Structure 1
Amino acid sequence: MSVDISLYTLPNNQPIVALECDTAFKALTQKEKLYAHYLSQAAWNGGLIVLVQTSPESPLIFALLHKIYLAESVDELRAAATRANISEDEFTAFLVYSCGVFSNAGNYKAMGDTKIIPLLPKNAFETIMKASKAYKDNPTEIKNLWDNISNALYSLDGKLKSLGLGDKGITTYFSANCTKEDADRVNAFMEYKGLESYNARCFKTTVHNPENNSNIDVYEIRLASLETSDDPKITSSEETYKDAKFKITRGDYSKLMVPVVENLQKAKEYASNQTEKDMLDKYIDHFRTGSLDDHRNGSRLWIKDKGPAIETYIGFIETYRDPAGQRGEFEGFVAMVNREMSEKFATLVNRAEEFIPLLPWNKDFEKDVFLRPDFTSLDVLTFAGSGIPSGINIPNYDEIRQSEGFKNVSLGNVIPAHMKDIHSIAFLSESDQALMNSYRIPSFEVQVGLHELLGHGTGKLFKQIDSDSYNFDRDKVKNPLTKGSINKFFLKGETYDSKFGTMGSSYEECRAEAVGLYLSLNREVLSIFAHREQQADNIIYVNWLSLLWSGFAKALEMYQPATKTWLQAHAQARYVLLRVCLEAGEDFVKIVEIEKEKDKDLIMQVDRDKIFTVGKRAIGDFLLKLQVYKSMGDIELAKAMYDRYSEVSDNGEYPWLRWRDIVLSRKEPRKIFVQSNTFVDDSNNVILKNYESSFTGLIQSWVERFPSADTSQTLIELWNKDKHYFTTNN
């Protein structure tokens, strides 16, 4: 079967957009700017960990490109490439690929997890490399890097097309010899030990026992930390559990942790209060020792730091890319509060208890006490990781979110940057396109607010506390779907992540998106955002239209037919909601296939007059099921329902696979963001440097972010240390 290369390359017209933060940064005091600077340095240096987490070859690809651009400017490299008979298109493709690797923190897309390969021939890539000053100065070193990555750089063989486990894709969260069964074994062991895996990876070896002439699997669960020695409070010696051996070690990414800790210590000097200082102390201890409890306790302090001028969070956070759904990708962000929009979100928080009872479940399924969070709109200065979201609800630790609190942030300068220069919108009528262009940003602000606060922030998990005690009344609470007793719940030691596994992220995003749709119908909610009368009607319509359109026109890009897997949690969630609305019938949502002269087109239509009737009923009923199954930890019923709506096939009323081909033929490249850098001058003043929205500007930002060759050397050392885990079956 031939491979559609366009799915795995970035086009030469790849859009590059600057993430504007000038106004917010200039409003900071000198002390706040220094605090932001050192936090940013910690985040950026920690963000290099994502290269190691993405694919075996990503650290070396970054190292090669870093060395090339460190040795000379893009213009000088272009001149050398031209002399070597490289065309302008080939050189542009080289720059685009470089931008893709830098911005995605590796050679797999942050949105979709599909591989990125260069859009120029392999021999042209090699020619540019050999024409570079880096190669001329150190030919042996550069050639060695090339020899180690040249095949992987271009290969789309089998599972290499996307991230995953076993035959589903590539991962470095587990060694190459691990399967889903191995992941299940490790997850069971961690649950048995009462531990979570956010800052862990797993490496399997198989050893022979001569006493009984049998093999036994040994799993090393390695924690991320600066310190590498054993510590009985954190690590553990080898122990047997269910016919396998397990040991917990630490020291993963150790050298990359050094600048993280150093910069957090410097940031502490400029913290605005004792809570922030104590919080940073806990983060420092976490990155130094590998103790996840320290990060939990730092997160507890973080949620108590209300309304700071500089908001930040750092660590191993989101589990989207772990194929077992439990190990966190490193991310760190630093942002300035947007006071005007934050006031609207604060009002939403203050009135949240008015809106929570409007959700389709009763108070038994809601948290005993609404944990009033901080909810701010932020202008991002720094976001280090594989991608930049539009909103965040953290921390992700179950016990903190359920009983202590959380924070919501909307990344206000990300939303307009994503939607900049969009005029023509595929698969919509001209009138719907006009409405989307007018109201998409303000409607998305409403959706993000509801999604983060009243989506992720609501709903109770039924838990066993001890052998005969629970956090709910087993005699009185009834299942609203069956009218019977609650017969399932989270056993002691079980968490949402451990129970829902790989499905958990998408399922929870779907629940939060559904809450946003459902509550966006409330005019009191819209009035908080200053939307009234006809404008409010348009915001409601565009919010529903936009999300359902995304579930069609964007989500299908993220489905992998060969493995029948979804490559992005939010995409799957929105597709599921689209399927729910289509199933509601009554011509509420329609997708119409149109014959054209040379090909076919599709138009999606939403009947705005039926949103308050058919739409609200369909989403409300589905949302109730999502919540009941989540509260009870009923993974069996949740999975059966979610898998049914997630199916992409041509069997049935809608030819989804054929429509996916049409969607792919019209797809637009996702924007890449250029982020600013900060520097401290000789007078201890912080300078903000912006870069032009171009391939050259983005590359320059990364070279100036990491001006030392030591960065590349550290990544090469990490690759050498673990390469045997990803190239052999141990």
Structure 2
Amino acid sequence: MSLTKFIVPAMAAMAITACGSKATQETADDFDYTVDRFADIEVLRYKVPDFENLTPQQRILIYYLTEAAITGRDILWEQNGKYNLAIRDLIENVYTNFDGDRESDEFKGLELYLKQIEFANGIHHHYSMDKFTPVFSREFLAGLAAKLPADQQPEDLETLLTIIFDPSVMPKRVNQAEGQDLILTSANNLYDNISQPEVENYYNALKDTTDATPVSWGLNARLTKQDGKVVEQVYKVGGLYSESISKIVDLLGKAAEYAENDSQRAIINKLIEYYRTGNLKTFDEYSIAWVEDTASQVDFINGFIESYGDPLGMTGAYESIVNFKNQEASHRTEVISGNAEWFEQHSPVDPRFRKDEVKGVSAKVITAAILAGDAYPATPIGINLPNANWIRAAHGSKSVTLENITEAYDQASHGNGFNEEFVIDKETSDLLDKYLFITDNLHTDLHECLGHASGRLLPGVDPDALKAHGSTLEEARADLFALYYLADPKLLELGLLDNPDAYKAEYYKYILNGLMTQLMRIEPGKDVEEAHMRNRQLISAWVYEKGKPDNVIEMVKRDGKTYIKINDYAKLRELFGQLLGEVQRIKSEGDYQAGRDLVENYGVKVDPALHKEVLGRYAKLNIAPYKGFVNPVYTPVTDKDGNITDVTISYDEDYLPQVLRYSKQYRTLK
């Protein structure tokens, strides 16, 4: 089960203030952050500050790691849907070969669809998981396909057209609806011709509850049936996705030649070994070596990691982020990780569920150099790995905050009118303007560095015991840990905040987002389905209900509009602590029924009247609910013999040109 990704919430980042980092303030220049806007998406650029201050060896290392990262792109498209690559080829080919009126409604609809599927790495929305609805006709696409050159003709056009245009076919990439077979009703390509009970029975038979160091079963495999027998198709060289993985291995081998030290080289080689064998024990060995390497400045993740795309939270989606340490901004995360033991022992959870000893928690602020796979174009703003609970307990975890990404979000959000429309009064708005940037970053730091790293399972508890609700509850656990400690005087003592009321900015934003503003991401009549959104609503709705006797939070009506008013911040913190204790108990004991009840009772259902109001108010602001990024372009510098001697960076590639180039340059699967 994936435990790591923290997505930027629906509420837009606020303006930079004196509490922001030095690096953030220095980027407020003429850099053009906004690249494109379509449907519910805004595409941004991000800077890579200090790339030029790295050594040539480090820049070449980053270059090969970025090449390896992007080379796995087709794997994610295949994981997201069986027909995704064929549909991508069809849409890209008719788009690039089109010689008619590019201002016509039909062509504009085709272009919109192309942008949407490129952003989502497939035909389903990256967040809602719903299949995109084309705003061009089947006849229009069929006519264009008929004109394609022979070598670009799809093998089964009618099947592709049916999948694209029939809303009843493969409607949901990940289905989380209670009471349904989540495998058979999900359109992803992680399972083939197999039911949910068959999947659960297969992996339950493999698990040894007495094993103190269990592998992450299902992490790197597609489960299917052959001759009536359930079998794994393992992602590895010589196995499933071999063409892509072989090229990734070659590029990782070149990267190893430029490693900063022997430890980093050994890590890269261990990852290569894992890709060649598919052995999950080897992956654990790689994860241990990776988490224990805190000396290297350049770092990366590459592999099958996040499991949000699997309704059972087992199979990892291909993902890669290449980065290097932001030396100055890492001070705050190092302070937090250096005090991990204090935070764990003062946590408001039953001592039985706390770690007896906190080992190896490391944290840093990083500068993202490339986003790939499940981290592109939409990306996390914080990551905590590895996922395996026993590795965390015995060897620690590594937490990172992507501050150049949060900078880009912040810079692009200036003057969007959000505060004026949704924040209850000027006093609260001023508080947000002054402290939200730093408290938002601290929330991410605490969530990733300590939240995911906290607590322990009781002996014999299956890490997958919470099943489909596991991802939501794990994100809730990490969020609650961060929220509880944001208001602790310890942060003032450590010098991470300079005002005892600063935490209120994050508390207000979180409750406003969880109860109201994230609803702008949901279509009318639908439930909350995505794990992070369920988590935020669960927390906000629970504390709202439990705080009613003391009027902790009010839903205030003014001029026909609903506003959030927090009357007792101290009591709200107590409620966060109470819920943290219960969620940790659920996880530690593997209490599926209690976890299921929390999620279904508080995290799923939507008030239709409030939903309609939020959508109407957002529509007036014209703020895109979702944001993502184009990558910078790295160009190798070679000598007269063709050897790479350095690497340059540029930021001038636009969204469609980039994804179309990626499809040609990094195509590995047919």
The correspondence for 2:203, drawn from 175, 187, 198, is 187
> Structure 2 counterpart of 1:524, which letter?
K
The equivalent of 2:5 in structure 1 is none
> Structure 1 counterpart of 2:59, which letter?
K
8 Å contact 1:162–1:169 — kept in the other structure? yes
Compared with structure 1, are the counterparts of its residues 438 and 463 closer, same or farther at alpha carbon in structure 2 (3 Å cutoff)?
Answer: same
The correspondence for 2:401, drawn from 410, 420, 429, is 410
8 Å contact 2:299–2:322 — kept in the other structure? yes
8 Å contact 1:678–1:686 — kept in the other structure? no
Structure 1 residue ranges without an equivalent (≥5): 1-9, 208-216, 228-250, 465-489, 650-655, 717-730
Q: C-alpha displacement at 1:569, in angstroms?
A: 1.2
> Structure 1 counterpart of 2:480, which letter?
A
The equivalent of 1:56 in structure 2 is 82
Describe the SS at the equivalent of 2:328: helix
Describe the SS at the equivalent of 1:390: strand
The equivalent of 1:5 in structure 2 is none
8 Å contact 1:66–1:703 — kept in the other structure? yes
> Structure 2 counterpart of 1:459, which letter?
G
Note if 1:444 corresponds to 2:440: yes
The correspondence for 1:675, drawn from 631, 635, 640, is 631
8 Å contact 2:358–2:393 — kept in the other structure? no
Q: C-alpha displacement at 1:262, in angstroms?
A: 0.5
8 Å contact 1:190–1:197 — kept in the other structure? no
Describe the SS at the equivalent of 1:681: strand
Note if 1:394 corresponds to 2:385: yes
- Structure with larger RCO (C-alpha < 8 A, sep 6+): 2
Note if 1:303 corresponds to 2:260: no
8 Å contact 1:111–1:568 — kept in the other structure? yes
Note if 1:427 corresponds to 2:422: yes
1:264-322 per-position Cα deviation (integer Å, ceiling 9, x unaligned): 10000011111111111111011111111111111111111104211111111111110
8 Å contact 1:559–1:567 — kept in the other structure? no
8 Å contact 2:94–2:144 — kept in the other structure? no
Counterpart CA distance in 2 for 1:560 and 1:669 is 12
Describe the SS at the equivalent of 2:77: helix
> Structure 2 counterpart of 1:35, which letter?
L
Note if 1:34 corresponds to 2:60: yes
The equivalent of 2:610 in structure 1 is 659
1:407-432 per-position Cα deviation (integer Å, ceiling 9, x unaligned): 00001112132342252225333524
The correspondence for 2:529, drawn from 567, 588, 597, is 567
Counterpart CA distance in 2 for 1:435 and 1:119 is 43
Q: C-alpha displacement at 1:352, in angstroms?
A: 2.5
> Structure 2 counterpart of 1:616, which letter?
R
Q: C-alpha displacement at 1:707, in angstroms?
A: 4.3
The correspondence for 1:337, drawn from 319, 322, 325, is 325
Note if 1:715 corresponds to 2:653: no
Counterpart CA distance in 2 for 1:167 and 1:664 is 32
Of residues 196-205 and 400-409 in structure 1, the stretch that sits farther from structure 2 once superposed is: 196-205
Q: C-alpha displacement at 1:47, in angstroms?
A: 3.0
The correspondence for 1:633, drawn from 590, 607, 622, is 590
8 Å contact 2:348–2:581 — kept in the other structure? yes
The correspondence for 2:258, drawn from 253, 270, 280, is 270
> Structure 2 counterpart of 1:632, which letter?
E
8 Å contact 1:505–1:569 — kept in the other structure? yes
Counterpart CA distance in 2 for 1:324 and 1:563 is 21
Counterpart CA distance in 1 for 2:495 and 2:38 is 38
1:41-73 per-position Cα deviation (integer Å, ceiling 9, x unaligned): 11111232110111122112333355567xx6x
8 Å contact 1:648–1:657 — kept in the other structure? no
Describe the SS at the equivalent of 2:44: strand
The equivalent of 1:698 in structure 2 is 655
1:545-590 per-position Cα deviation (integer Å, ceiling 9, x unaligned): 12122213354356689785x4321111110111122111133222
Counterpart CA distance in 2 for 1:396 and 1:379 is 22
The equivalent of 2:569 in structure 1 is 611
1:202-245 per-position Cα deviation (integer Å, ceiling 9, x unaligned): 1135x5xxxxxxxxx42121110112xxxxxxxxxxxxxxxxxx
Q: C-alpha displacement at 1:627, in angstroms?
A: 1.2
The equivalent of 2:101 in structure 1 is 85
8 Å contact 1:558–1:567 — kept in the other structure? no
Counterpart CA distance in 2 for 1:154 and 1:379 is 41
Q: C-alpha displacement at 1:169, in angstroms?
A: 3.3
Structure 2 residue ranges without an equivalent (≥5): 1-36, 176-181
Q: C-alpha displacement at 1:366, in angstroms?
A: 1.6
> Structure 2 counterpart of 1:454, which letter?
L
8 Å contact 1:558–1:571 — kept in the other structure? no
8 Å contact 1:99–1:699 — kept in the other structure? yes
Counterpart CA distance in 2 for 1:107 and 1:688 is 34
The equivalent of 1:211 in structure 2 is none
> Structure 1 counterpart of 2:117, which letter?
V
Describe the SS at the equivalent of 1:414: helix
Compared with structure 1, are the counterparts of its residues 336 and 129 closer, same or farther at alpha carbon in structure 2 (3 Å cutoff)?
Answer: farther
Compared with structure 1, are the counterparts of its residues 158 and 90 closer, same or farther at alpha carbon in structure 2 (3 Å cutoff)?
Answer: closer
Compared with structure 1, are the counterparts of its residues 129 and 417 closer, same or farther at alpha carbon in structure 2 (3 Å cutoff)?
Answer: farther
Q: C-alpha displacement at 1:541, in angstroms?
A: 1.3
Q: C-alpha displacement at 1:382, in angstroms?
A: 1.1
8 Å contact 1:12–1:89 — kept in the other structure? no
Counterpart CA distance in 2 for 1:68 and 1:687 is 35
Structural mapping, 1:195-344, within 5 Å: 196-205=217-226, 207=227, 217-227=228-238, 251-344=239-332
Describe the SS at the equivalent of 1:294: helix
The correspondence for 2:174, drawn from 143, 163, 172, is 163
> Structure 1 counterpart of 2:221, which letter?
A
Larger Rg: 1
- Calculate the aligned-residue CA RMSD, in Å: 2.7
1:530-557 per-position Cα deviation (integer Å, ceiling 9, x unaligned): 4313xx52x3111111212221335435
**Matched residue pairs, number?**
604
Counterpart CA distance in 1 for 2:144 and 2:494 is 55
Counterpart CA distance in 2 for 1:540 and 1:41 is 40
**Taking structure 2 as the reference length, what is the TM-score of the superposition?**
0.83
The correspondence for 1:504, drawn from 439, 458, 470, is 470
8 Å contact 1:12–1:92 — kept in the other structure? no
> Structure 2 counterpart of 1:108, which letter?
H
> Structure 2 counterpart of 1:503, which letter?
H
> Structure 1 counterpart of 2:422, which letter?
F
Of residues 332-341 and 414-423 in structure 1, the stretch that sits farther from structure 2 once superposed is: 414-423
1:232-259 per-position Cα deviation (integer Å, ceiling 9, x unaligned): xxxxxxxxxxxxxxxxxxx111111111
Q: C-alpha displacement at 1:171, in angstroms?
A: 2.1
Counterpart CA distance in 1 for 2:539 and 2:483 is 10
Q: C-alpha displacement at 1:507, in angstroms?
A: 0.2
> Structure 2 counterpart of 1:223, which letter?
V
8 Å contact 1:338–1:378 — kept in the other structure? yes
Q: C-alpha displacement at 1:438, in angstroms?
A: 4.3
Compared with structure 1, are the counterparts of its residues 406 and 525 closer, same or farther at alpha carbon in structure 2 (3 Å cutoff)?
Answer: same
1:113-162 per-position Cα deviation (integer Å, ceiling 9, x unaligned): 2223444444445566678xxx3xx2452354754422222332265144
> Structure 1 counterpart of 2:78, which letter?
V
Counterpart CA distance in 2 for 1:347 and 1:691 is 33
How high is the sequence identity, in percent, across the aligned residues?
Answer: 22
Note if 1:174 corresponds to 2:206: no
Structural mapping, 1:360-399, within 5 Å: 360-386=348-374, 387-399=378-390
Compared with structure 1, are the counterparts of its residues 547 and 182 closer, same or farther at alpha carbon in structure 2 (3 Å cutoff)?
Answer: same
Counterpart CA distance in 2 for 1:428 and 1:629 is 34
8 Å contact 1:163–1:321 — kept in the other structure? yes
